[in-house]
Chain A
Amino acid sequence: MQLGRVIGRVWSTVKDASLQNQRLLLVQPCNASGAASGRPIVCTDATGSAGAGELIYWCRGREASFAFAPLEVVADNTVVGIVDELHVPPRDAEE
């Protein structure tokens, strides 16, 4: 999984039947310090409640669709958790 920030939503009427009633979120992947890395992606949302600006973590690939098992949802990136806190000690201290 990777960290990301929810930056928006996508609205689509004509879409695959398995995506009916699925929220589509725009997610900017980011690193542990919150800096953006790579291009924004569209994610389905397994938490059902991830909102704008929130730090989340998402699952990629075929496993992303398992978040909705036994439903077969066409998903390659799915938000699976909303981050409350990150505990990242300074890296110099651990040497």
Chain B
Amino acid sequence: MNFTYLPATPRNEEAMLLARVIGEVVATVKHPTHEERKALLVQPVTLDGADYGPTLVSLDSVDAGVGDLVLVTAEGYSAMTSVGRGTQAPIDSAVIGVVDRVDLLPGSPR
């Protein structure tokens, strides 16, 4: 058999990333820690603005809106504390900033 190692589940890197807000999720039945927080659909983008990776559902802590370029944390502890839900909540990503501008050195890898 031809084996190649593959991680068992799709995992996002636990990092901050740039993403574009593409929509909102409306859910009535959800975990109590998600109540009263907007759930945004965010699409991670490269520095060129191109989409990459899966679309994420992120809780909003900065009142971001559709079309905004935002800073998303994909690390649980940062996410759950930024939306004020303690340290034991099922929250793996949150929108923690609205990006005004990105400055890049010319010729930087994107």
Contacts and interface: CB of A to CB of B under 8 A. Distances in A.
Given A31-B54, A59-B90, A59-B91, A81 B29 contact: yes
Interface of B: 9-12, 14, 22-31, 34, 39, 41, 43, 54-58, 66-67, 76, 79-80, 88-93
A41 B9 contact: yes
8 contacts: A32-B55, A49-B29, A66-B88, A83-B26, A83-B27, A85-B26, A86-B24, A88-B41
Interface of A: 1-3, 29, 31-32, 37-39, 41, 46-47, 49-50, 57, 59-67, 69-70, 76-78, 80-89, 91, 94
Contacts of A62: 76
Contacts of A91: 22
Nearest to A65: B90
Given A41-B9, A60-B9, A84 B26 contact: yes
B54 A37 contact: yes
Contacts of B54: 2, 29, 31, 37-38
